[in-house]
Structure 1
């Protein structure tokens, strides 16, 4: 299967089942085609992007002791994972000139995003909230549309959104454990392990594609489009160890930690 055909299926199929269908093997990248930048992905009617501020906020902390709030959390996170999958398909379309090794490697991350979407939507359904029964936002998709090159993408999705998830997955694991929901906690731990590898993938390619001799931290910041900033890569609690596991150097980690706002908010 051609990478461009897989990206097209993820972006243009209105069927959630088709979006979450892994690519057929073997994968080739012989016909990437011209650059294309679709404004929005096709989605089923019940998963169309909602108007601003109409999607439910993410429940957290003691609120997650209620099964209904646990279901909402999984519904929100399923949409986050689905958007990440769609953004990666967008990158394959938008930057056909990117190194083939990067494009093929991105497919492995996309398979994980498909898996994560399924994990969250199935748990939401078990808790009484079928995926698509609530409005969903487009925040990750919209912020990624500002990406003008692969380095922009690497700074935005792997190093900010997935970087932030290094904290959030651990935070939500603990919220669910506190609520006695071991199954949801296990989902968060499994996704956390994958996110370490996704951040590693992004950081490795940032180092490969940045100008020779340039600084990782400076390149990362230069390729963020406002309102995204380095502090957006931080959750409510900053965790050093998963970032070390993802390959971040001590100076990068220190500067990232130091970018948090004075009141501790990321």
Structure 2
């Protein structure tokens, strides 16, 4: 019998982005979770199309959003991030067993919302005469997932609470640039993404603190240790403190960020 976790792996190894996003959004609710099942990896994780070509982050050309090409490059980059975000949510569902059913239900809900974000950005790209895959992209977000594949606490600490939380900080200035460039449709999509990502990071914060409590760990001290062990990206401001507070970061953590 298919379970939520086994179907999450099926979606994760799907190579076609449109199929991955569409099938993820259409996935049924109320499935048997299979929280304690041992699920063997299969296929290539994650499933990826032949394009975009993946390059180092520093190799991506910086272009002005005040040109059509520059806006297309920005939207393409965001679409790639959202495709990675689908994979990250699906991966955490199948890879880590033994969590409460709510954990898997919430991450599958996150995968559905990330799939919507990808589709919105993909469709907006079409108005700029570009398809997803036409431009190069980088693989930095999945690199963090790969480094934390054996440790659920590290995965939650360093993906939703670090890499994805950076999107909370980046969204307002990106939106401002798009508005100034006259791309109001693109700016509206960023509003949707920011709204949803606050909830996604909040889920990460909830389960990070839950795991720390279960293990008798101090969340702040443990985060610093995990960030060092797994070579996480350094936190750099300016921070969207309002969004981070709404996403469940503690006043103690926000105070440390502000120093």
3-state SS of paired residue (2:47): coil
Q: Is 1:3 the counterpart of 2:30 in the alignment?
A: no
Secondary structure at 2:107's aligned position in 1? Answer: helix
- The equivalent of 1:169 in structure 2 is 171
Residues 249/58 of structure 1: CA separation in 2 closer, same or farther (3 Å cut) = farther
Unaligned runs of 5+ in 1: 259-266
CA contact (8 A) 2:75 2:125 kept: yes
Shift of 1:223: 2.5
Q: SS of the residue aligned with 2:144?
A: helix
Aligned residue number for residue 46 of structure 1: 51
* Partner residue in 2 for 1:248: 249
Q: Per-residue deviation at 1:145?
A: 0.8
Using structure 2 for the length normalisation, give the TM-score.
Answer: 0.87
1:221–1:229 Cα contact (<8 Å) kept: no
- Work out which of the residue numbers 9, 26, 29 in structure 2 matches 1:25: 29
| 1:26-45 deviation per Cα after TM superposition (whole angstroms, max 9, x unaligned) | 32213764254566312222
Q: Could you tell which deviates more after superposition, 129-138 or 194-203?
A: 129-138
Other-structure match for 2:232 = 228
**Is residue 2:199 matched to residue 1:192?**
no
CA shift at 1:136, angstroms?
2.4
Q: What's the Cα RMSD here? A: 2.2
Q: Which residue of 2 is the match for residue 217 of structure 1?
A: 220
1:14/1:42 contact within 8 Å kept:
yes
- CA positional deviation for 1:134: 1.5
User: Contact 1:9–1:18 (CA<8 Å) still a contact in 2?
Assistant: no
User: Are 1:64 and 1:70, in contact at CA under 8 Å, matched by a contact in 2?
Assistant: yes
TM superposition score normalised by structure 1: 0.85
| Cα separation, partners in 2 of 1:138 and 1:189, compared to 1, 3 Å | same
- Partner Cα separation in structure 1 for residue 244 and residue 225 of structure 2: 20
Change (3 A) 1:69 1:36: farther
Residue aligned with 2:248, SS: coil
Match of 1:72 in 2: 73
Q: Secondary structure at the match of 2:65?
A: helix
Q: Which structure 2 residues correspond to residues 130-141 of structure 1 after superposition, within 5 A?
A: 130-141=131-142
Check the 8 A contact 2:147/2:230 in 1, yes or no.
no
Q: What is the aligned length?
A: 251
Shift of 1:50: 2.1
